[in-house]
Amino acid sequence: MINDKFETRFSELQNELDEMPYIHGNNNGLYGGLYEPGIWKKWATSVESLLKAACGADSPYYLNFIKEKEKCREYARGIKALAGIFQSAREAFDGGHLFDVERDISAEIFSDFVVLAKQALAEDNKDVAAVLASAALEDALKRHATSNGLNVDEAPMSEVINALKSKRLVSGAQKSMLAAMLQMRNHAMHARWEEFEKPAVSGLIGFVEEFLLTHFSRNQ
């Protein structure tokens, strides 16, 4: 799980911060002690990379960290400013207040599948388009279920849909259309090409797009 890896990395960098040694003085006075430049810069670079990946390049955590890092020197006061931003980001991550990293990355991957499906359909390759859209839909449904605490990794798509419905994780038009999408997916994944035409594939692609916007958008 991507989020688990980020959680581990936050802990590792916290430990590095806690154990970062002074090379002169102590953490008192106006500027505090001095840190070894090679050590604190290595730590700060690692944090910068983590914050960009876990919080996003446009997040205040990442942007503020970059700003403070640019003017930071080896004095403890500057390191404390970086540490404060890092720890604030970690608290937000631990508290679930940041966007879900896995969902965000999944949305980008599935969007690529949708683009490819649209391209294939535009080139009159309805069968290829149907397979791409079906694969994206099935994986999106499973990831939506998993992110909401359902164990559906090995479940067939029909069971995934039933699990989502039972937990009310799909509703409205999407809920009523899932049966048709399941049938379409089964035709495509079992090479029953004669069972559907181009308009049906277009409808499947549109359904996948709407599902992604509803359940995987960072701004949902």
pLDDT at 104: 52
Euclidean distance between CA atoms 46 and 9, whole angstroms: 9
Please list the pLDDT of the chain residue by residue as tens digits (220 residues). 456 677 888 999 999 998 888 776 554 443 456 777 788 899 999 999 888 877 777 788 989 999 999 988 777 788 889 999 999 999 888 877 665 545 554 555 566 788 889 999 999 999 999 999 998 888 888 888 887 888 887 889 899 999 999 989 888 888 889 999 999 999 998 999 999 999 999 999 999 888 877 777 544 4
| Residue 35 bridge partners (DSSP) | 22
Residue range(s) occupied by CATH 1.20.120 in the chain = 101-215
Decide: 84 and 47 in contact? Cβ < 8 Å: no
pLDDT at 217: 58
Q: Would you state the structure tokens that stand for residue 190, as one six-digit string?
A: 């079992």
40: left (phi over 0), alpha (psi -120 to 50) or beta: alpha
pLDDT at 31: 46
For the chain, the distance separating the N- and C-terminal CA atoms, rounded to the nearest angstrom, is: 22
3-state DSSP call for residue 24? strand
pLDDT at 98: 63
CATH architecture of 101-215: Up-down Bundle (1.20)
Backbone angles phi, psi at 191, to 5 degrees: 55, 35
Who's near 75: CB < 8 A, 6+ residues apart?
A: 31, 32, 33, 34, 35
pLDDT at 130: 93
CA angle, 15 then 21 then 26, to 5°: 120
Who's near 39: CB < 8 A, 6+ residues apart?
A: 20, 21
pLDDT at 143: 82
pLDDT at 30: 39
HSE on the CB side for 51, CA within 13 Å?
A: 29
